[in-house]
Amino acid sequence: MTYDVFMAGFGGQGVLMMGDLLARAAIFEGKNVSYYPSYGVEKRGGAATCTVVISDQEVGSPVIGQPGAAIILNQLSCDKYLEKVRPGGFCLLNSSLIELPANPRDDINLLSAPLTEIARETGGDRLLNMVSLGAYVTATGAVDAASLEKALEQALPKRNHRFIPMNIEAIKRGAALVEK
């Protein structure tokens, strides 16, 4: 089984951290993984994208033309990448910042939710990526939510471990979007 997901937003939304965490979670599950980030030279505000491929086999290309899933967090990325999602795939859109096109795609499983607002309710805008990740893994089953928790412990420096419960709460809020 192979899962590939493309994530896009602007710098500062946590796109790269989200991909990194997903990759770490999959490694905990014994999978082969590639994580390929691509971003502008700006610290904040530029385009930030990454691709994560999770597989039981050797991972071939870390770059995917038509990803099986996408997490799109801002308008610019939506205009550019929504059309690339593979037919039959899954796409999560952040409706807080994205106005849906007049004819959104009907050949994919499209979930549009006010992710930034949900993040804000949960504890802050910066939880946007965790809300998104929770929705993605619940919709696709790419990794277990429990593995994400382990990934958070590994990826975050000890001094920031006190924020982990808040992040897990955000992941759960994201998961609830799919479950209901």
Contact residues: other proteins, CB under 8 A = 20, 23-24, 27, 32-38, 41, 58-66
Shortest CB 92 distance to other proteins, Å: 21
Residue 50 vs 139, nearer CB to other proteins: 50
Shortest CB 39 distance to other proteins, Å: 9
Residue 5 vs 115, nearer CB to other proteins: 5
Residue 25 vs 177, nearer CB to other proteins: 25
CA distance 149 to 53: 19
In terms of C-beta density within 10 A (0-12 exposed, 13-18 middle, 19 or more buried), how is residue 110 classed?
middle
How many Å from the N-terminal Cα to the C-terminal Cα in the chain? Answer: 26
Shortest CB 170 distance to other proteins, Å: 22
CA distance 157 to 167: 14
CA distance 139 to 96: 20
Phi, psi of 175 (to 5 degrees): -60, -40
Shortest CB 77 distance to other proteins, Å: 12
Which segments within the chain are labelled E, that is strand?
2-10, 32-39, 47-55, 69-72, 90-94, 109-113
Shortest CB 11 distance to other proteins, Å: 15
Q: Tokens 């859109």 belong to which residue? A: 93
Longest dimension (CA), the chain: 46
Residue 61 vs 160, nearer CB to other proteins: 61
Q: Tokens 């990194």 belong to which residue? A: 20
Residue 66 vs 160, nearer CB to other proteins: 66
